[in-house]
Amino acid sequence: MSQTYSDSSFAIRADLAAVHGATMESFCAPGTWFDAKERREIVALSRRARAERGFEILGYIDEVQDIGLPSGALKLIDMVSCESEKIDKNFYLELVSNGLLAEQYVEIVGLVTRA
């Protein structure tokens, strides 16, 4: 995960940098339904999607490994990252009927929204 304040024109308080650092580290730790590598990939894909649509600074995109996350996970990552207003019950039901576990859905939403 990229994390830097060296090029910021604003002073960043140490306590905020510490919280940000801990959050970034949590993205790379194993979760309940996804392992550490998968969680890192979920965050990287989310950040890439946002950067490609102009929502993030392009210089801070994490490298995507293409580790083969399920297609439902990829769709959810993209929707939560960039088009969350389109998420409804039917979208959720489509994903879980195509193999994404409800618990995986929750973990992905949590990761992407924190990222």
Distance between CA atoms of residues 43 and 49, nearest Å: 10
Q: What is the pLDDT of residues 5-41, one digit of tens each?
A: 767 788 889 898 888 889 888 998 999 999 999 999 9
Helix, strand, coil share of the chain (percent; to 5): 60, 0, 40
Tell me the mean pLDDT in the region 33-59: 88
Q: pLDDT class for 76, splitting at 50, 70, 90?
A: very high
Tell me the mean pLDDT in the region 36-52: 92
The answer to whether residue 3 scores a pLDDT higher than 50 is no
- For residue 57, with 0-12 CB atoms within 10 Å meaning exposed, 13-18 middle and 19 or more buried, which class applies? exposed
The answer to whether residue 2 scores a pLDDT higher than 50 is no
Predicted model pTM: 0.84
Sequence spans of domains, the chain: 14-114
Question: Could you tell me which residue, 81 or 59, shows the higher pLDDT?
Answer: 81
Closest to 34 in 3D by CA, of 111, 115, 114, 113: 111
Distance between CA atoms of residues 15 and 46, nearest Å: 25
Distance between CA atoms of residues 82 and 46, nearest Å: 8
What is the token pair recorded at 104?
């995986």
Which pLDDT does position 8 carry in this prediction? 75
